[in-house]
Amino acid sequence: MLLVESHPHASTFMATLLLYVPLGGSLPTAAGMLGPVLAVLFTLLAGSLVFFRRVMGRALTFLRQHWQWTLLTVASLTLLSGALIFWWS
């Protein structure tokens, strides 16, 4: 246990074990799943960051050019959501 706790990825490893083993999985299966699960998570994270950067760049350019329409849209949506919450409650 001391060896696992001193490892840099110990918290991720322990979280995987704490989540998977009580759900009926075995300890070796949980340890074997850790690598592929982390690889998929990091790949999704990297891809989403690249996508987010591209989309946000375009969105910020649009907002700078059309800030009046953006302000009007945000104000309208805020009032609409407030009215719906008031109506449903």
Contacts of 13 (CB under 8 A, 6+ apart): 4, 7, 31, 34
Segment 2-55, tens digit of pLDDT: 444 455 555 555 565 555 555 555 555 656 666 777 777 777 777 777 777 788
Rounded CA separation 80/82 (Å): 5
Q: Which amino acid is at 8?
A: P
CB atoms near residue 9 (< 10 Å): 11
Domain locations in the chain as residue ranges: 2-88
Segment 45-70, tens digit of pLDDT: 777 777 777 888 888 888 888 888 88
Q: Which helix (H) or strand (E) holds 43?
A: helix 27-65
Residue 79 structure tokens: 């009032």
